[in-house]
Structure 1
């Protein structure tokens, strides 16, 4: 079998995976709309209550899960290329924490601006500040995986300390909002909040078409420049895009970790590292995984609802430990 045939078969496998991921996402989304405290039969006549339950509660929540999952997975895939590190992820590196810190500052010092758009702008600013800090230190100091993770953990701890101080000085209403962000939840998702989705969706689609650019970056800066790529300009665009996605995800659903770590890494192991396919498949897989996680969060307990961030951490933490051990053994 010659090289052309191998390439054709590999591309066919990627394309089949995209089709299967779309099918799986649609099936899981359909199940999401059916299950809950009240099961809705999709083949029966919907009552007024069931129709209202779907349109006002489950559907906006489903769209929030799809948007957040896709945004975090794509952000993780792009960060792994930008930093040259398979363990890079917005939550692990403290970028999501930076977004939440800026939202806390907005809530306490500029309450009149505490609207979905205001929170989005604050979250994007915080995510960009932390992303720039990490990318700059990685490039300037040529950080190893261990040092990069330590810096990310330190930034995450710094963000958590700011939120903890906010807890101490907050009133009851602010405390509930802070808990919502800290634990990760889309229980309060509404159609009004999907203004944020309309902002992040074009950025998400743009990144899905940057696969060839990311492939060049993976070859190293020198090779990328020789291929005609303006590395500095591209890096700025990617940092801004990641900041918008992470900021939008945090503003919509709080701090939800490990989606951006688990999804692209496992896809790379299973399928390869061609970013023109990996990025859109990561979006589909991340969206599907978060919808599934929210099904678990809504249905695991009879009398209560689990925080979504706790469910994703339970899924992602063991995989993260395995990745750390695997990365250490590979050295």
Structure 2
């Protein structure tokens, strides 16, 4: 009886947090549309300029922030289950870097495909290749947490070197586009680019619905198979979904790190590790976090805009260091 009451209380707490995050997300979204170089009051009649500012600039940028935040947070949570590693995250493991390298290749060698859809396909292919490489190495070589992180960091350094070479040989237009992807920014978000979100949002919902399946995978492959899970088929589907989400995020807003690391970890510490609750909350919290980070990026300086990737890295790097120290001390 006490166990049943404990489960009920735990589920009630998850639901309360969900409704709280939904309310906060609505408030932050409203604030996002109001603040900026031109403040727009919700209590006054909108001028034509203000309507254009909201519809053509701030609203597509807000949608990009919410989509990317939810996608990266859910991808990080799923990667952590697949690799059995709480420090797994698309940016830290070099997956985002792999997506950016493929976009650089398209920009320089296949300029005819340098369109939002072309970039999305290239980024997905790059993210898929790096995800497959990491998952294969982790399973075949039985890599420890430390070694897996080192491999991911090395891959990230390698992709950074490729992009640096691209900087060196690029013209002015290419250079600006590369800076945009490398540092992470939503400044160029437009409705035309949101063809990417038509693919990403359904995948976020699909992954959020796979929480019970991931709970079985957390028990280990043997137990999951005994419970009727086709582990290999599920793994391939998850890898493909993560690759599409990470690749789409890079194509839409550049390389934005640490969202997939910080969000799931903080939620696990606060509420537990049941994935059927954790994944939807990660999507909400990730969307909210990136919207707040982009508000900071847009408004922190009067004469310029901070790169979004710098803001998220500034928030996430201290948490990452703390997690590394904590894991080291727990051994």
Q: Pick the TM interval, shorter chain.
A: over 0.9
User: Please, which runs of 5 or more residues in structure 1 have no aligned partner?
Assistant: none
Q: CA RMSD in A?
A: 0.6
User: Corresponding residue for 1:54?
Assistant: 54
Q: TM-score, normalised by structure 2?
A: 0.99
Alignment of 1:251 onto 2:251: yes
Query: Is 2:128 the partner of 1:128?
Result: yes
Aligned twin of 1:325: 325
Aligned counterparts of 1:34 and 1:142: Cα–Cα separation in 2: 50
Q: Which residue of 1 aligns with 2:211?
A: 211
Deviations 1:256-293 (A, max 9, x none): 00000000000000000000010000000000000000
Cα distance in 1, alignment partners of residues 300 and 203 from structure 2: 34
Deviation track 1:125-180 (CA, whole Å, cap 9, x = no partner) reads 00000000000111111111110100000000111111111111111100100000
How far, CA to CA, are the matches of 2:11 and 2:132 in structure 1?
34
Q: What does 1:91-240 align with in structure 2 at a 5 Å threshold?
A: 91-240=91-240
- 3-state SS of the aligned residue for 1:37? coil
User: Aligned partners of 1:245, 1:226: CA distance in 2, in Å?
Assistant: 30
For 1:26, the equivalent position in structure 2 comes to: 26
Give the deviation of 1:84 after TM superposition.
0.2
Tell me whether 1:78 sits opposite 2:78 in the alignment: yes
Offset, 1:199: 1.0
Please say if 1:2 is aligned against 2:6. Answer: no
The 3-state SS of whatever aligns with 1:177 is: helix
What CA distance in whole angstroms lies between the structure 1 residues aligned with 2:324 and 2:304?
A: 34
Calculate the TM-score normalised by the size of structure 1.
0.99
In structure 2, distance between residues paired with 1:214 and 1:128: 20
The superposition leaves residues 76-132 of structure 1 with CA deviations (integer Å, 9 ceiling, x where unpaired) of 000000000000000000000000000000111110011111101100000000000
Tell me how far apart the structure 2 counterparts of residues 129 and 258 of structure 1 sit (CA, whole Å): 20
Name the SS of the counterpart of 2:286 in structure 1. helix
